[in-house]
Amino acid sequence: MMAAKPLLGKVLRPCSIALFETHISSKLFPISSVCVQQIREKSRSPKYVVRPTTRRPWHVRKWTTKQDASLTSENETFVQDVIKDQYLSPSPLKEGPWERNDFQNGTRRTGALALKLGVIKQWTNSGKSFYVTLLQILDNHVINYVPPAQYSAYPSHKPHHAERFGLQIVGALSCDPRQFSKAYNNLFVKAGVPPKRWLTRFLITPDAAVEPGTALSVNHFRVGDFVDVQSRSKDWGFQGVIKRWGMKGMPASHGVTKSHRKMGGTGGGGDKDGIWRGKRMPGVMGNRLSTQFGLKIWRINTKYNILYVTGPAVAGVPHTFCRVKDTVLPKKCLREDRSENVPMPTWFPEDLGDDPQPEEIFDKDLFQFTEPSLVEETES
């Protein structure tokens, strides 16, 4: 059914119900004869993306402009020793070990930050080849945990979440604290770890909270599980409509002059004339968060903390940091009936026991290069 149009066209096009409730409008137009234009898809998110131009007010300044140019080599060595002694000793604010709970339906664990290394080929036992992306979980530590009652007062809290989820702050790649501001270094005092190059947060349930200062490794995930990977796409800068949106452009000949790569008409006529918000036009391309859902973990390298996940579709150039967490897809997410040996809330070295940890863990359907590819059967 087509949407209804107002009776007076352009004069009453932006009107609302409140207009017809006035005394004058009720005399001019009876309520039974007025047809208001319908508004559809009002609750859905807009299809256009507004690129932020300012930093959010709750973000602290990260980098500092101060430099120790007057330090001698002996003083530099002394400063490095002081920094090592400060972070090698346990933090006085670190509490005792937290209680570990069992996995239940609805439990949401924390994720990790991974470095995208590249794409390689793998083969199944049947000989079918496919691409996998290598993600290295590099120097991850839990920085802080915000309980649901405290998180509900944050500006980023969504009302429909209520008090079901808390915040788990995770950082990756330790750096020299002299590179960062004092406000940024104070974020890591509770965890007792050096300042991290990258910080992120994950929504988790209270039964999966991890104590600040705990290290996260590749053993947090299992072979055969499915994960969601979020990263920033490659920044292409300002691009035209042909490269940005794949438009055809204008004809190559027959009177076209200096308009071969232009988009053509921008706005139609009639009642809906003008350029609507979200119109595909030239602009900045890329550098936006992109999430790939339900990627299977085919292989894990415990020596170098590398995950082998399905496909070459993880956004970003090599050495891009990615957020890796358990998938939210209903048919692939972790459940209580198939959650055997799930590390809760994460993997600890004491979980290994007396058994040696294998350097490589393969999926049962993935071909291992240590096995023969062809087996000759002899006739008896």
Question: Degrees (nearest 5) of the Cα angle 156, 159, 162?
Answer: 105
pLDDT value, residue 26: 42
CA dist 295 and 287 (Å) reads 22
Closest CA to 90 of 170, 186, 193: 193
pLDDT value, residue 135: 96
Q: Which residues, listed in sequence order, are joined to residue 130 by a DSSP beta bridge?
A: 122
Chain position carrying tokens 């809760």? 344
Per DSSP, the three-state class of 45 is coil
Neighbours of 193 (CB within 10 A): 20
pLDDT value, residue 58: 64
User: What CATH number does domain 73-95+106-235+286-362 carry, 3.30.1330.40, 3.50.90.10, 2.40.30.10, 1.10.10.10?
Assistant: 2.40.30.10
In one-letter notation, the amino acid at residue 194 is: P
Query: In this predicted model, what pLDDT tens digit does every residue of 102-144 receive, in sequence order?
Result: 898 889 999 999 999 999 999 999 889 999 999 999 999 999 9
Chain position carrying tokens 């001019």? 28
Question: Degrees (nearest 5) of the Cα angle 300, 306, 311?
Answer: 80
pLDDT value, residue 267: 79
Closest CA to 109 of 193, 173, 192, 165: 165
pLDDT value, residue 49: 61
State which residues of the chain have pLDDT below 70.
1-58, 89-96, 380
In the chain, domain spans: 1-39, 73-95+106-235+286-362
pLDDT value, residue 323: 96
- Which tokens hold the place of 377? 């059967």
pLDDT value, residue 92: 55
CA dist 299 and 123 (Å) reads 12
Per DSSP, the three-state class of 237 is strand
CA dist 295 and 307 (Å) reads 11
